[in-house]
Amino acid sequence: MASKICAVIDYGMGNLHSAHGALQTVSPDTQVIVTGDPEVILKADHVVLPGVGAIRDCMAEIRAQGIDQVVAEVRKTKPLLGICVGLQAMMDRSEENGGVDCMGIFPGQVCFFGNDLVENGERLKVPHMGWNTVAQVKHPLWAGIADNSRFYFVHSYYVDAVNGEQVKGHGHYGVDFAAAMGEDNVFAVQFHPEKSHNAGLALLKNFLSWDGQG
């Protein structure tokens, strides 16, 4: 029997199978469940909020299914990990789709990289897709992962945080952006740890053994 349960929230907008597979791989004794059932989510020991696609669609489903209320309860008591659009949904607001109000767990905006992103005279492609280093700020989820390790990103919008103390990982692609945010028992990343080979798997393993303390 599994010693603990990790719920991957299913609201119809996430890379659920790869996230489930990676979490199960790094912790075989954990029962990883993909579910949209609030009762199951609230009983889990660890909770993951994934997300891909347009933030307006994600937030519409999150609110329609009451996932925002479930997440509000989860963050009071247990470790919560946001991935990609799951991080963006935790901010105040996104510029995408003409402006979308998000859950407001972290103060800050989600901004468009722009169609004319240039660095050192070279035009950068948007979306930002591929491997990028992340400069760490001390946090238990970075344990055993070398600073400036490379993680896999796919995004056209980036997090511009208000509170610098909540930024736990810094990225740069034409502009500086928050690659990871954290406070108390909540941690969220813009990259896809489930697609980031050893460094990403190490982060997921750290999450599943994390007690939610800084």
- Tell me, yes or no, if 139 is annotated catalytic: no
pLDDT of res. 156: 96
pLDDT, residue 196, reads 97
Give me the residue label for tokens 């989600």: 110
Of all residues in the chain, the percent with pLDDT exceeding 70 is 98
Active site (annotated) includes residue 194: yes
pLDDT at 165 over 80: yes
Mean pLDDT over residues 185-206, rounded? Answer: 98
The model carries a pTM of 0.96
Active-site residue, selected from the candidate residues 20, 46, 170, 192: 192
Tell me which of 84, 96, 155, 170 is the catalytic residue. 84
Q: What digits encode the pLDDT tens for the residues 57-112?
A: 999 999 999 999 999 999 999 999 999 999 999 999 999 989 999 999 999 999 99
Residue 1, pLDDT above cutoff 60: no
Say whether pLDDT at 3 is over 90.
no
6 is catalytic: no
Q: Over 60: is that where the pLDDT of 2 sits?
A: no
Q: Are 204 and 193 in contact (CB under 8 A)?
A: yes
- pLDDT category at 13 given cuts 50, 70, 90 is confident
